[in-house]
Amino acid sequence: MEMLLWLPSPTCDVMFVVGQEQQKVFAHRCVLACRCQVFRGMLSQAPVGSQDSSSSIQPQGPFILGNVQPEVFLAVIEFLYTNSVTLNSHIALEVLTSSVEYGLQDLCKLCVKFIKDTLSVEQVCEALQAAVTYGQVDLQQHCLAFIEGCTAAVVQTQGFRELSDVVLARVLRSDRLAADELDLVQAVREWAHVSSAVLERPVPEVAALPVRELRLPLLAPSELVTLESYNQQDLLIPVENIAAAWRAHALRKGSGLPSRLCRPRRGTRPRDHHCHLEPHAK
Protein backbone atom coordinates (compact mmCIF):
# COMPACT_ATOMS: atom_id res chain seq x y z
CA MET A 1 0.00 0.00 0.00
CA GLU A 2 2.69 2.47 0.96
CA MET A 3 4.80 1.73 -2.12
CA LEU A 4 1.78 2.27 -4.34
CA LEU A 5 1.43 5.77 -2.97
CA TRP A 6 5.08 6.75 -3.09
CA LEU A 7 5.85 5.36 -6.53
CA PRO A 8 3.84 5.59 -9.78
CA SER A 9 1.81 2.57 -10.79
CA PRO A 10 0.47 1.83 -14.31
CA THR A 11 -3.02 2.47 -12.95
CA CYS A 12 -2.33 5.67 -10.96
CA ASP A 13 -3.83 8.70 -12.69
CA VAL A 14 -3.27 11.58 -10.26
CA MET A 15 -0.16 13.01 -8.65
CA PHE A 16 0.36 15.29 -5.66
CA VAL A 17 3.53 17.15 -4.69
CA VAL A 18 3.43 17.34 -0.91
CA GLY A 19 5.24 19.38 1.71
CA GLN A 20 8.46 21.33 1.64
CA GLU A 21 10.16 18.09 0.65
CA GLN A 22 8.09 18.14 -2.57
CA GLN A 23 7.40 14.45 -2.16
CA LYS A 24 5.46 12.97 -5.07
CA VAL A 25 2.43 10.92 -4.07
CA PHE A 26 0.47 8.96 -6.68
CA ALA A 27 -3.12 7.75 -6.33
CA HIS A 28 -6.30 6.90 -8.22
CA ARG A 29 -8.82 9.60 -9.11
CA CYS A 30 -11.78 7.24 -8.82
CA VAL A 31 -10.91 6.28 -5.23
CA LEU A 32 -10.32 9.83 -4.05
CA ALA A 33 -13.39 11.25 -5.78
CA CYS A 34 -15.62 8.44 -4.52
CA ARG A 35 -14.47 8.74 -0.92
CA CYS A 36 -14.05 12.48 -0.45
CA GLN A 37 -16.14 15.38 -1.72
CA VAL A 38 -13.24 17.81 -1.38
CA PHE A 39 -11.04 15.68 -3.63
CA ARG A 40 -13.96 15.24 -6.02
CA GLY A 41 -14.18 19.00 -6.41
CA MET A 42 -10.42 19.39 -6.72
CA LEU A 43 -10.08 16.72 -9.39
CA SER A 44 -13.07 17.92 -11.41
CA GLN A 45 -11.55 21.38 -11.85
CA ALA A 46 -8.34 20.23 -13.56
CA PRO A 47 -7.99 18.54 -16.96
CA VAL A 48 -6.85 14.95 -17.10
CA GLY A 49 -3.33 14.49 -18.48
CA SER A 50 -3.08 13.73 -22.15
CA GLN A 51 -2.84 10.10 -23.18
CA ASP A 52 -0.74 8.74 -25.99
CA SER A 53 -1.27 5.58 -28.00
CA SER A 54 0.65 3.47 -25.45
CA SER A 55 -0.99 1.79 -22.49
CA SER A 56 0.61 4.16 -19.95
CA ILE A 57 -1.49 6.84 -18.30
CA GLN A 58 -0.17 10.34 -17.71
CA PRO A 59 -1.15 11.29 -14.12
CA GLN A 60 -3.41 14.28 -13.61
CA GLY A 61 -1.75 17.15 -11.83
CA PRO A 62 0.55 17.68 -10.16
CA PHE A 63 -1.48 19.18 -7.33
CA ILE A 64 0.81 21.18 -5.06
CA LEU A 65 0.13 20.77 -1.33
CA GLY A 66 3.02 22.68 0.17
CA ASN A 67 1.59 23.17 3.66
CA VAL A 68 0.99 19.50 4.45
CA GLN A 69 3.56 17.05 5.77
CA PRO A 70 3.91 14.02 3.47
CA GLU A 71 3.35 11.66 6.42
CA VAL A 72 0.11 13.45 7.27
CA PHE A 73 -1.15 13.40 3.68
CA LEU A 74 -0.28 9.72 3.35
CA ALA A 75 -2.33 9.01 6.47
CA VAL A 76 -5.32 10.68 4.81
CA ILE A 77 -4.77 8.69 1.62
CA GLU A 78 -4.39 5.48 3.64
CA PHE A 79 -7.77 6.13 5.23
CA LEU A 80 -9.42 6.77 1.87
CA TYR A 81 -8.15 3.44 0.55
CA THR A 82 -8.56 1.24 3.64
CA ASN A 83 -10.98 3.01 6.02
CA SER A 84 -8.27 2.73 8.68
CA VAL A 85 -5.24 4.83 9.54
CA THR A 86 -1.78 4.42 11.06
CA LEU A 87 -1.14 7.24 13.53
CA ASN A 88 1.61 8.31 15.90
CA SER A 89 1.87 11.12 18.42
CA HIS A 90 3.82 13.32 16.00
CA ILE A 91 1.12 13.52 13.33
CA ALA A 92 -2.18 12.75 15.08
CA LEU A 93 -3.21 16.38 15.62
CA GLU A 94 -2.27 17.35 12.08
CA VAL A 95 -4.19 14.40 10.68
CA LEU A 96 -7.14 15.58 12.78
CA THR A 97 -6.80 18.99 11.16
CA SER A 98 -6.72 17.42 7.70
CA SER A 99 -9.74 15.26 8.50
CA VAL A 100 -11.71 18.42 9.25
CA GLU A 101 -10.43 20.21 6.16
CA TYR A 102 -11.34 17.26 3.92
CA GLY A 103 -14.66 16.62 5.64
CA LEU A 104 -13.75 13.08 6.69
CA GLN A 105 -15.80 12.53 9.84
CA ASP A 106 -14.84 8.88 10.31
CA LEU A 107 -11.14 9.77 10.10
CA CYS A 108 -11.77 12.54 12.61
CA LYS A 109 -13.25 9.99 15.03
CA LEU A 110 -10.23 7.72 14.64
CA CYS A 111 -7.90 10.66 15.35
CA VAL A 112 -9.86 11.71 18.42
CA LYS A 113 -9.76 8.18 19.81
CA PHE A 114 -6.01 7.92 19.25
CA ILE A 115 -5.35 11.32 20.83
CA LYS A 116 -7.43 10.43 23.89
CA ASP A 117 -5.66 7.09 24.27
CA THR A 118 -2.15 8.59 24.02
CA LEU A 119 -2.60 11.96 25.73
CA SER A 120 0.46 13.29 27.56
CA VAL A 121 1.40 16.28 29.72
CA GLU A 122 3.39 17.77 26.84
CA GLN A 123 0.61 17.47 24.27
CA VAL A 124 -2.60 17.97 26.21
CA CYS A 125 -2.80 21.75 25.72
CA GLU A 126 -2.23 21.49 21.99
CA ALA A 127 -4.91 18.79 21.86
CA LEU A 128 -7.32 20.98 23.85
CA GLN A 129 -6.70 23.92 21.54
CA ALA A 130 -7.42 21.73 18.51
CA ALA A 131 -10.53 20.27 20.16
CA VAL A 132 -11.94 23.75 20.77
CA THR A 133 -11.01 24.94 17.28
CA TYR A 134 -12.75 22.00 15.60
CA GLY A 135 -15.70 21.72 17.98
CA GLN A 136 -14.75 18.28 19.36
CA VAL A 137 -16.65 18.47 22.64
CA ASP A 138 -15.77 14.98 23.84
CA LEU A 139 -12.06 15.60 23.29
CA GLN A 140 -12.33 18.98 25.03
CA GLN A 141 -13.79 17.35 28.13
CA HIS A 142 -11.17 14.60 28.09
CA CYS A 143 -8.32 17.10 27.81
CA LEU A 144 -9.70 19.30 30.56
CA ALA A 145 -10.04 16.32 32.91
CA PHE A 146 -6.43 15.40 32.12
CA ILE A 147 -5.27 18.95 32.88
CA GLU A 148 -7.23 18.93 36.14
CA GLY A 149 -5.36 15.80 37.20
CA CYS A 150 -1.83 17.15 36.66
CA THR A 151 -2.20 20.92 36.53
CA ALA A 152 1.16 21.77 38.10
CA ALA A 153 3.03 19.87 35.39
CA VAL A 154 0.85 21.10 32.52
CA VAL A 155 1.32 24.82 33.27
CA GLN A 156 5.07 24.37 32.82
CA THR A 157 4.77 23.14 29.23
CA GLN A 158 5.27 25.04 26.00
CA GLY A 159 1.79 24.00 24.94
CA PHE A 160 0.29 25.84 27.89
CA ARG A 161 2.09 29.04 26.89
CA GLU A 162 0.69 28.70 23.36
CA LEU A 163 -2.98 28.43 24.36
CA SER A 164 -5.33 31.08 23.07
CA ASP A 165 -6.82 33.47 25.61
CA VAL A 166 -10.27 31.92 25.13
CA VAL A 167 -9.06 28.38 25.80
CA LEU A 168 -6.93 29.43 28.77
CA ALA A 169 -9.89 31.22 30.31
CA ARG A 170 -11.93 28.04 29.87
CA VAL A 171 -9.27 26.05 31.73
CA LEU A 172 -9.16 28.59 34.56
CA ARG A 173 -12.93 28.34 35.12
CA SER A 174 -12.47 24.82 36.47
CA ASP A 175 -12.87 24.18 40.20
CA ARG A 176 -10.83 20.98 39.90
CA LEU A 177 -7.43 22.33 38.89
CA ALA A 178 -4.76 20.68 41.01
CA ALA A 179 -2.73 23.83 41.63
CA ASP A 180 -2.75 26.65 44.12
CA GLU A 181 -4.06 30.05 43.01
CA LEU A 182 -0.69 31.73 43.53
CA ASP A 183 0.88 29.24 41.12
CA LEU A 184 -1.90 29.82 38.61
CA VAL A 185 -1.35 33.58 38.77
CA GLN A 186 2.34 33.05 38.00
CA ALA A 187 1.50 30.67 35.15
CA VAL A 188 -0.88 33.22 33.63
CA ARG A 189 1.77 35.93 33.99
CA GLU A 190 4.31 33.84 32.08
CA TRP A 191 1.70 32.96 29.46
CA ALA A 192 0.80 36.64 29.07
CA HIS A 193 4.38 37.75 28.48
CA VAL A 194 4.84 35.08 25.80
CA SER A 195 1.55 36.02 24.12
CA SER A 196 2.40 39.71 24.32
CA ALA A 197 5.70 39.12 22.52
CA VAL A 198 4.15 36.88 19.85
CA LEU A 199 1.10 39.05 19.18
CA GLU A 200 2.96 42.35 19.68
CA ARG A 201 0.22 43.60 21.98
CA PRO A 202 0.43 44.90 25.59
CA VAL A 203 0.31 42.36 28.42
CA PRO A 204 -2.94 43.73 29.94
CA GLU A 205 -4.65 43.50 26.56
CA VAL A 206 -3.72 39.90 25.73
CA ALA A 207 -4.44 38.73 29.28
CA ALA A 208 -7.78 40.46 29.83
CA LEU A 209 -9.94 37.35 29.40
CA PRO A 210 -7.92 34.81 31.46
CA VAL A 211 -7.23 37.30 34.27
CA ARG A 212 -10.98 37.54 34.93
CA GLU A 213 -10.87 33.89 36.01
CA LEU A 214 -8.09 34.30 38.61
CA ARG A 215 -9.47 33.88 42.12
CA LEU A 216 -7.57 36.64 43.86
CA PRO A 217 -9.73 36.66 47.04
CA LEU A 218 -8.25 33.24 47.83
CA LEU A 219 -4.80 34.80 48.33
CA ALA A 220 -3.56 35.82 51.76
CA PRO A 221 -2.87 39.53 52.49
CA SER A 222 0.91 39.05 52.28
CA GLU A 223 0.47 37.37 48.89
CA LEU A 224 -1.67 40.26 47.63
CA VAL A 225 1.05 42.71 48.67
CA THR A 226 3.62 40.76 46.64
CA LEU A 227 1.17 40.52 43.75
CA GLU A 228 0.70 44.29 43.73
CA SER A 229 4.46 44.77 43.59
CA TYR A 230 4.80 42.52 40.53
CA ASN A 231 1.73 44.08 38.98
CA GLN A 232 3.32 47.52 38.96
CA GLN A 233 5.84 46.18 36.45
CA ASP A 234 3.52 44.64 33.84
CA LEU A 235 -0.04 45.76 34.79
CA LEU A 236 -1.21 42.19 34.23
CA ILE A 237 -4.16 42.47 36.62
CA PRO A 238 -6.54 45.45 36.62
CA VAL A 239 -6.29 47.52 39.80
CA GLU A 240 -10.00 47.07 40.46
CA ASN A 241 -9.57 43.27 40.59
CA ILE A 242 -6.92 43.57 43.28
CA ALA A 243 -9.03 46.15 45.12
CA ALA A 244 -11.95 43.70 45.14
CA ALA A 245 -9.72 41.07 46.73
CA TRP A 246 -8.63 43.52 49.43
CA ARG A 247 -12.27 44.45 50.03
CA ALA A 248 -13.10 40.78 50.58
CA HIS A 249 -10.42 40.68 53.28
CA ALA A 250 -11.61 43.90 54.92
CA LEU A 251 -15.26 42.85 55.01
CA ARG A 252 -14.41 39.21 55.73
CA LYS A 253 -16.81 38.08 53.03
CA GLY A 254 -17.07 37.86 49.27
CA SER A 255 -20.14 40.07 48.85
CA GLY A 256 -20.34 41.66 45.44
CA LEU A 257 -17.94 39.16 43.84
CA PRO A 258 -18.90 36.35 41.48
CA SER A 259 -19.20 33.19 43.57
CA ARG A 260 -16.61 31.33 41.48
CA LEU A 261 -13.89 33.82 42.45
CA CYS A 262 -14.34 32.98 46.14
CA ARG A 263 -14.53 29.22 45.70
CA PRO A 264 -11.34 27.23 46.46
CA ARG A 265 -10.17 24.87 43.75
CA ARG A 266 -9.16 21.29 44.36
CA GLY A 267 -5.49 22.32 44.60
CA THR A 268 -5.97 25.51 46.62
CA ARG A 269 -3.83 25.62 49.76
CA PRO A 270 -6.00 26.52 52.78
CA ARG A 271 -5.65 30.04 54.20
CA ASP A 272 -7.12 31.27 57.47
CA HIS A 273 -9.47 33.73 55.78
CA HIS A 274 -11.14 31.17 53.52
CA CYS A 275 -13.72 30.38 56.20
CA HIS A 276 -15.03 33.96 55.88
CA LEU A 277 -15.63 33.84 52.13
CA GLU A 278 -19.24 33.22 51.26
CA PRO A 279 -19.38 30.26 48.88
CA HIS A 280 -22.71 31.43 47.44
CA ALA A 281 -21.90 35.12 47.05
CA LYS A 282 -23.30 36.62 43.87
Can you tell me the distance from the alpha carbon of 160 to that of 124, in angstroms, rounded to the nearest whole number? 9
Residue 73 has a pLDDT of 97
Residue 237, by phi and psi: left (phi above 0), alpha (psi -120 to 50) or beta? beta
Can you tell me the distance from the alpha carbon of 178 to that of 197, in angstroms, rounded to the nearest whole number? 28
- Residue 237 in this model has a pLDDT that exceeds 70: yes
Of 107, 123, 105, residue with least CA distance to 115 = 123
**Model confidence band, residue 51 (pLDDT cutoffs 50, 70, 90):** very low
Residue type at position 9:
S
Can you tell me the distance from the alpha carbon of 164 to that of 247, in angstroms, rounded to the nearest whole number? 31
* Highest mean pLDDT: which range of 164-168, 259-263, 271-275: 164-168
Instruction: Report the chain's mean pLDDT, rounded to a whole number.
Output: 91
Of residues 212 and 55, the one with the higher pLDDT is 212
Tell me: the pLDDT tens digits for 127-161? 999 999 999 999 999 999 999 999 999 999 999 99
Stretch 99-111: mean pLDDT, rounded?
97
Residue 106 has a pLDDT of 98
What is the reported pTM?
0.88
